[in-house]
A and B are shown apart, each in its own frame.
Chain A
Amino acid sequence: MPNKTFFWFFLPTGLAMILFIGLPIISTGIQSFYAQHDQVVKEVKKCDPFGCTVSIVVDQEATSVLRDERPLGKFNGFGTYVDRNHLAIEQISEFWDETDTLGDFIDQVTNLPFYKALLFTLTYCLFVTPNVLLLGFIIALSLNAISRKIRGPLIFGTILPMIVTPLVGSLVLFWMIDAEGIIGANLQLMMEDPYLSLKSSRTLTWITIIIYGIWHHSPFAFVVFYAALQTVPQEPVEAAIIDGASRYQRIRHIVLPHIYPVVTFVALISLMDNFRVFEPIIGFSAEGSAQSLSWLIYDNLVNEEVILFGSAAATSMMTIIGIAILLAPVLIRTWKEFRTAR
């Protein structure tokens, strides 16, 4: 496609992307550099059905003057980024001085909300993405080898986890693994431990969420791989059979190289998706044991009675940077291949 045609072809999408993705990101970025004005409070008498007390309220007149002057708030630079609830630079250097062993230091650092969330997010990515790729590929291969008559219903069954809304899927599992639920209660019986709970142990919660993630994301990889498998040319495969290549060898040397670009694509998309893991945490009510970066943003925006826009914006920006770093190796590789292809 000539570049000019491509430009006109891409223009509408590009404009929509700038309007709905680009500009909001810029606005979020700007917001992350601002904090609320210093609160002007005053002492007043408050009376309710249980009696009167003297306590403080925000002085609206004084505050509205400040707000009108600078509606964005107080410029804070990278203040929000480095505070204790985000990168916690100060705290980390303190820990470094205070702790004796590396283990202690890591314990202290992963106790900070941002690093706690980052640790879970990365663990989730690390376990879910390769397993999704592997499982999706195996399912695609198996289904591809099955008689065409039963393939349709089987494919439908396989992509069910993707059709089910993530929240519903996780809620169903949530009730099953409850200490009174079918899986939870049976596990207690099997282990002969009435205090065993999948939901109260951090490790078990992580494992549950990771397994759920694999279950939920595999169909996507499967669908893409299955489509790609249909394009594998039959001649080289047949030639390989005649040469006596085993099934493993055929997959390793013919099928995989052929669908390699698709594997990269699926890996990219899953990495991005998994880095933003969020729904299972809500669905499993796992906030206590597992927090992700996306959950931190959500927490700042809705779980507080006061909305922490600055905090949420800073975490959003860092999530974007995090995704960019994760994807960088794959993107660089794709770019290099693109250049050599030309």
Chain B
Amino acid sequence: MKKILLTLLFILFGTTAYADGHCSKPSGSINILANDFPALRTFVETAKGCKGSADFKVTHSSEHNKIAVPALTANPSEFSARIAANSSIVPLMNQDLIRPMDDLVKKYGKGIQDSQLITIDGKVMAVAFMANTQHLYYREDVLKELGIPVPKTYEEVVAASEKIRASGKMQHPYAAAYKAGWNLAEEFVNMFIGHGGEFFKAGTAEPNINNAKGVATLNMLKKLASLSNPDYLTHDSEAIKVEWESGKVALMTLWASRSGTLLDDEGDAKITAATKLTGPATVGGGNIPAATLWWDGFTLAKNRSDSDAEASFIALAHAASNKKMVADAADQAVWLVEGFVPGPKSIGVIEAVKMGAKPYPMLPQMGLMHGALGSEIVEFLQGKESAEQALKDVEAAYISKAKEQGFL
């Protein structure tokens, strides 16, 4: 009997130890650069649990994109690891700032699933651990009261918002992060992909947005903007989250990774209870959602010693294969780690994947297009120029930048 008990205990503890992920006690120095949202904090905290005797530092910043390239260009670089996403890995690849990690994956990456590996030209350049997308949030109580079904397309979102406005319940019932710059450009990217658009002529870096799909995209954005708070051009994800929590919005397109903060105990309990998630909407009769899929994963700096890279990998791989973390923080993100059981807050991403959403284009020149979009379509939304003119401006601005960067 005693023996059985002991064996049982052994198995129990043994498996827990295993479930916590491997930790080979690294030494050296680990310094991580990451964006700043709850899931990433949890991830880095978990990695810290396996720092061994290494010196562990982390910088969480929403300005991470601005720091990354200069900080990783220095030799030795300031950071040993950078948590990147599909778009932010591109400049690192363009400048040759991150190292392949096939050997490390073989040596220390036992719990990491193959599907987590980002391989480029056969080499593992990043290990993904969570997925993200932008999808619809809606106020169940408001929609029910007015007898509006949950919208599945942006045309329905517009109709629903108009109905809510007409009812007098809310003046500006729709919200999305339309802040001029990166956010606004991201909304364009989503909507353009929803219309089935391709940003570049096949096989080249020539822009391909000044066409009917581009015009339809802009018109839809403008319609949605007219149903939003008039200050939409200054509102980012955080600002529209605040609008939502103050009960002034009934339909919203927002990142899945922010659902945790919307559904937490802070704020008006009635609004929180009525906040529901659904997949991203389609647009213009298309069948793929007007949204892009994103992964977040870690990369290792090239200009840093091998031993620091190894230490960073051990700690981060510990988190990227940690079943306990994904069980404890199931609310915070859609983890790509083995053992993750999707909860109600993951609906958006899972729906997006089911509907066949496309990942954000991981092309070397995409950043330049994104930048040009962010500043050149503003005047169209303000009603100062035509859609065709705005798209012409975007292409012209992009071409100048792409020439300077040697893409054209």
Q: Which residues of A approach B to under 8 Å, CB–CB?
A: 35-39, 41, 44-51, 55-58, 60, 63-64, 74, 76, 80, 83-85, 91, 111, 113, 174, 178-180, 184, 194-197, 199-200, 202, 284-289, 291, 299, 302-308, 310-311
B362: chain A residues at CB < 8 Å are: 46, 48, 55
CA distance A196 to B231 in the complex (A): 9
Query: Given contacts A196-B230, A288-B180, are A305 and B90 in contact (CB under 8 A)?
Result: yes
B384: chain A residues at CB < 8 Å are: 202
A306 contacts B368, CB within 8 Å? yes
Residue from the list B115, B131, B371, B407 in contact with A39, Cβ < 8 A: B407
CA distance A35 to B404 in the complex (A): 5
Query: Which one of B116-124, B148-156, B187-195, B213-221 is at the interface?
Result: B116-124
A50 contacts B353, CB within 8 Å? yes
The answer to the question of B65 belonging to the interface, with a C-beta cut-off of 8 Å to chain A, is yes
B363 contacts A50, CB within 8 Å? no
CA distance A46 to B118 in the complex (A): 7
CA distance A51 to B357 in the complex (A): 11
B121 contacts A305, CB within 8 Å? no
B400: chain A residues at CB < 8 Å are: 83-85
> Taking the nearest CB of chain A, how far is it from the CB of B371, in angstroms?
4
B123 to A, closest residue via Cβ:
A44
CA distance A58 to B233 in the complex (A): 34
A83: chain B residues at CB < 8 Å are: 400, 403-404
Residue from the list A48, A194, A308 in contact with B171, Cβ < 8 A: A194
Contacts across chains A and B counted by CB atoms under 8 Å: 168
B364 contacts A39, CB within 8 Å? yes
B230 contacts A195, CB within 8 Å? yes
Q: Which of B131, B370, B404 has the most CB of A within 10 A?
A: B404
CA distance A28 to B100 in the complex (A): 34
B87 to A, closest residue via Cβ:
A305
CA distance A85 to B359 in the complex (A): 30
The answer to the question of B27 belonging to the interface, with a C-beta cut-off of 8 Å to chain A, is no
Residue from the list B128, B180, B370, B379 in contact with A111, Cβ < 8 A: B379
CA distance A280 to B248 in the complex (A): 28
B371 to A, closest residue via Cβ:
A304
A202 to B, closest residue via Cβ:
B382
A43 to B, closest residue via Cβ:
B203
B397 to A, closest residue via Cβ:
A85
The answer to the question of B273 belonging to the interface, with a C-beta cut-off of 8 Å to chain A, is no
B131 contacts A199, CB within 8 Å? no
Residue from the list A57, A84, A178, A307 in contact with B364, Cβ < 8 A: A57
A305: chain B residues at CB < 8 Å are: 65, 69, 87-88, 90-91, 367, 370-371
Residue from the list A45, A74, A178, A304 in contact with B368, Cβ < 8 A: A304
Q: Which of A36, A178, A304 has the most CB of B within 10 A?
A: A304
- The 0/1 profile, CB within 8 Å of A marked 1, for residues 83-94 of chain B is 000111011011
The answer to the question of B37 belonging to the interface, with a C-beta cut-off of 8 Å to chain A, is no
Q: Which of A174, A195, A291, A306 has the most CB of B within 10 A?
A: A306
A35 contacts B128, CB within 8 Å? no
B401: chain A residues at CB < 8 Å are: 85, 304, 308, 311
The answer to the question of B396 belonging to the interface, with a C-beta cut-off of 8 Å to chain A, is yes
A48 contacts B121, CB within 8 Å? no
> Taking the nearest CB of chain B, how far is it from the CB of A41, in angstroms?
6
B122 contacts A45, CB within 8 Å? yes
Residue from the list A44, A49, A80 in contact with B295, Cβ < 8 A: A49
B404: chain A residues at CB < 8 Å are: 35-36, 76, 80, 83, 308, 310-311
Residue from the list B232, B374, B405 in contact with A303, Cβ < 8 A: B374
A299 contacts B234, CB within 8 Å? no
Residue from the list A113, A202, A304 in contact with B367, Cβ < 8 A: A304
The answer to the question of B229 belonging to the interface, with a C-beta cut-off of 8 Å to chain A, is yes
The answer to the question of B385 belonging to the interface, with a C-beta cut-off of 8 Å to chain A, is yes
B364 contacts A197, CB within 8 Å? no
A64: chain B residues at CB < 8 Å are: 96
A-B contacts, 14 listed (Cβ < 8 Å): A36-B404, A44-B121, A45-B119, A47-B118, A47-B120, A48-B128, A80-B404, A83-B400, A178-B231, A200-B230, A288-B180, A291-B375, A299-B371, A305-B87
> Taking the nearest CB of chain A, how far is it from the CB of B225, in angstroms?
9
> Taking the nearest CB of chain A, how far is it from the CB of B257, in angstroms?
15
B358 to A, closest residue via Cβ:
A50
The answer to the question of B179 belonging to the interface, with a C-beta cut-off of 8 Å to chain A, is yes
The answer to the question of B281 belonging to the interface, with a C-beta cut-off of 8 Å to chain A, is no
CA distance A200 to B184 in the complex (A): 14
B94 contacts A58, CB within 8 Å? yes
> Taking the nearest CB of chain B, how far is it from the CB of A292, in angstroms?
13
B363 contacts A47, CB within 8 Å? no
The answer to the question of B141 belonging to the interface, with a C-beta cut-off of 8 Å to chain A, is no
Residue from the list A200, A286, A306 in contact with B405, Cβ < 8 A: A306
Interface residue ranges of B371-395 to A (CB < 8 Å): 371, 374-375, 378-379, 382, 384-385, 389, 393
The answer to the question of B56 belonging to the interface, with a C-beta cut-off of 8 Å to chain A, is no
Query: Given contacts A39-B364, A304-B368, A311-B401, are A46 and B119 in contact (CB under 8 A)?
Result: yes
Query: Given contacts A45-B122, A84-B397, A85-B400, are A38 and B406 in contact (CB under 8 A)?
Result: yes
The answer to the question of B329 belonging to the interface, with a C-beta cut-off of 8 Å to chain A, is no
A39 contacts B231, CB within 8 Å? no
A50 contacts B293, CB within 8 Å? yes
The answer to the question of B107 belonging to the interface, with a C-beta cut-off of 8 Å to chain A, is no
A48 contacts B94, CB within 8 Å? no
CA distance A304 to B171 in the complex (A): 35
B295 contacts A50, CB within 8 Å? yes
A288: chain B residues at CB < 8 Å are: 180, 233-234, 378, 382
> Taking the nearest CB of chain B, how far is it from the CB of A311, in angstroms?
6
A194: chain B residues at CB < 8 Å are: 171
> Taking the nearest CB of chain A, how far is it from the CB of B201, in angstroms?
13
A37 contacts B336, CB within 8 Å? no
CA distance A58 to B122 in the complex (A): 15
CA distance A38 to B403 in the complex (A): 8
B254: chain A residues at CB < 8 Å are: none
- The 0/1 profile, CB within 8 Å of A marked 1, for residues 131-149 of chain B is 1000000000000000000
B230 to A, closest residue via Cβ:
A197
The answer to the question of B66 belonging to the interface, with a C-beta cut-off of 8 Å to chain A, is yes
B368 contacts A35, CB within 8 Å? no
CA distance A51 to B371 in the complex (A): 26
> Taking the nearest CB of chain B, how far is it from the CB of A83, in angstroms?
5
A58: chain B residues at CB < 8 Å are: 93-94, 96, 364
CA distance A289 to B119 in the complex (A): 41
